[in-house]
Structure 1
Amino acid sequence: EEMFFDVMVHLPPGASDRQWISKFESDLPQFTHLVGDLSQSIHFGQLLLRGTNGQIMSKSILADSASMCTSNAAIECDYVSARCLTLKTANGTI
């Protein structure tokens, strides 16, 4: 018998049109990262998403620097706007 659960992070709206978050980091092995359509509401200074055996999927992200790293899984991004972008996976597609 397997157990499943979700970890959800809700970012409250900021005072301005686009909220500034200087750094957001997630390192969750055995979990899939699902990132919604955030580019119109949040601007990340640095965004770091890491995992193993779980996909990283995002709709839209705005960041000065973004890094997405996983293994044994794919990375799928519809749109990422970043000055510096790193996408790394082993045994998966980008």
Structure 2
Amino acid sequence: MTLWINGDWITGQGERRRKTNPVSAEILWQGNDANAAQVAEACQAARAAFPRWARQPFAARQAIVEKFAALLEAHKAELTEVIARETGKPRWEAATESDGDDQ
């Protein structure tokens, strides 16, 4: 597991985490949280990036959000599988989280 901070993928320096499938105990992923300094860096980078984002025309921001929505839709089956494995839910129930109908 890596973290996206200020335009770079980095390894967290905080507490170690491991996610297992609650049904099979299979290790699904493991990695480190961000430490306090990394959280501060991420917050600072977000604050610094916001004015540029806010200056973008609405249509440009909307296009980015719509592209993200299209990517979520294109990968819905994969997201459903990940949710099912991480939570132990049956796929039909996990699909209710990845299809956006609950929004």
More helix by share: 2
TM-score normalised by structure 2 residue count: 0.25
More strand by share: 1
